[in-house]
């Protein structure tokens, strides 16, 4: 089967990792994969041959909010030029332009509707302000992609409900995000000489990072030697740095920036505890990765996380936007090694049983076969 994936990126962050791991699974199953992603502003197209197939990086101009309109011109031009017939065209999320000659021919995986993303994103930076300002245009584009797709897949029941209620399409199939549980696995031998709590992911307003930092201040007062490691970057990175300085946490909170996949695994495998304080998620890949590595976690009670994490069994779930309760439950877990061990063991078991790529990839492959 010849399959074309269309996404904003591959092998970077949540959606990109999804595209990479799905493509890897399909290649191992004998399918041919090509991927269209955003390139740079200077070159129309350049190609990279990888272990998962040929990557086409198409010219992308970050001229917000017209970025998709410009990208559409170059993607349509390139698809017309290669004149290749694919058995399946699989697009991901709202980050690709609507292509006229793909009408009613593509599968669309929605990793989170823009409607919910904008509604749940506080305005704390210029990018968030732009999202809210141009929300009617962006949501209209999102709705068009959902309407025209041959088949719509949602990564959670929460996302499916948003598609039904906000975009008016009911024939949606839920296939959860997956994780490479053979790569993200526990390691009992620690190579860190200090104890730390971990967060991984983007620094954007809907992630609740300010609640994490405020809760860290309370935790560190009780346990002055404990560290927090925060990976990733994003529009709120400078704000987070200033908050760390204001609360005088420079000695205890480490911002790593973006890290390699091998370094990310090392952080997961050596952490004592994982925290995800999000206000909104499609279905968090980062939490899956942590759970797959056998990490106990404190996460927020939001619908998508509740599809993955089970309160008291794999995780401790707390209300969003509540730094005090987040701190209290973090301290409770620090002091209860027996509970941490139980949550970590159950987390690993749940991911392997329900969210490994062998199971998720098979479900998507079956959807392709039914379409063909």
Residues 6 or more apart whose CB falls under 8 angstroms from that of 231 comprise 198, 199, 200, 201, 256, 257, 258, 259, 264, 267
* Residue among 224, 226, 230 nearest 209 (CA): 230
The per-residue pLDDT for 94 is: 66
- Topology of the domain covering 2-178+356-371: Rossmann fold (3.40.50)
| Residue 22 token pair | 């799905």
Taking the C-alpha atoms of residue 188 and residue 366, their distance in angstroms, rounded to an integer, is: 37
| pLDDT tens digits, 138-194 | 788 888 888 888 999 999 999 999 999 999 999 999 999 999 999 999 987 677 878
Where exactly does CATH 3.40.50.2000 map onto the chain?
2-178+356-371, 196-354
- Topology of the domain covering 196-354: Rossmann fold (3.40.50)
Residue 80, judged by CB atoms within 10 A of its CB (0-12, 13-18, 19+), counts as exposed
Taking the C-alpha atoms of residue 227 and residue 29, their distance in angstroms, rounded to an integer, is: 43
Report the predicted TM-score, pTM, of the whole model to 2 decimal places.
0.89
| pLDDT tens digits, 233-245 | 999 999 999 999 9
């Amino acid at each position: 089967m010849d399959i074309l994936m269309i996404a904003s990126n591959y092998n970077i962050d949540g959606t990109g990792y999804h595209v990479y791991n799905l493509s890897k699974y399909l290649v191992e199953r004998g399918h041919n994969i090509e991927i269209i992603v955003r390139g740079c502003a200077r070159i129309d197209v350049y190609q990279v041959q990888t272990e998962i197939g040929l990557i086409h990086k198409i010219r992308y101009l970050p001229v917000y909010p017209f970025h998709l309109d410009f990208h559409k011109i170059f993607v349509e031009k390139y698809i017309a030029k290669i004149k290749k017939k694919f058995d399946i065209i699989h697009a991901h999320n709202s980050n690709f332009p609507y292509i006229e000659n793909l009408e009613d021919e593509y599968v669309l995986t929605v990793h989170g509707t823009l409607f919910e993303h904008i509604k749940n994103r506080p305005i704390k930076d210029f990018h968030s302000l732009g999202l809210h300002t141009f929300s009617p245009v962006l949501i209209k584009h999102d709705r068009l992609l959902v309407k025209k797709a041959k088949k719509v897949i949602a990564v959670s029941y929460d996302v499916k409900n948003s598609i039904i209620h906000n975009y008016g399409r009911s024939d949606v199939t839920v296939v959860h995000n997956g994780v490479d549980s053979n790569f993200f696995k526990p390691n009992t031998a620690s190579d860190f000489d200090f104890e730390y709590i971990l967060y991984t992911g983007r620094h954007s307003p809907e992630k609740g990072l300010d609640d994490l930092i405020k809760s860290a201040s309370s935790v560190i007062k009780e346990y002055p030697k404990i560290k927090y490691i925060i990976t990733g970057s994003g529009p709120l990175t400078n704000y987070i740095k200033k908050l760390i300085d204001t609360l005088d946490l420079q000695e205890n909170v480490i911002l790593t920036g973006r890290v390699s996949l091998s370094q990310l695994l090392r952080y997961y495998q050596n952490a004592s505890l994982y925290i995800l304080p999000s206000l909104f998620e499609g279905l968090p890949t980062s939490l899956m990765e942590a759970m797959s590595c056998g990490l106990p976690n404190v996460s927020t009670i939001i619908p998508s996380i509740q599809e993955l994490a089970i309160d008291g069994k794999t995780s401790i779930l707390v209300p969003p936007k509540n730094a005090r309760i987040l701190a209290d439950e973090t301290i409770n877990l620090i002091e209860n090694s027996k509970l941490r061990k139980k949550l970590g063991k159950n987390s690993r078991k749940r991911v392997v049983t329900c969210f490994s790529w062998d199971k998720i990839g098979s479900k998507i492959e079956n959807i392709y076969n039914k379409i063909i």
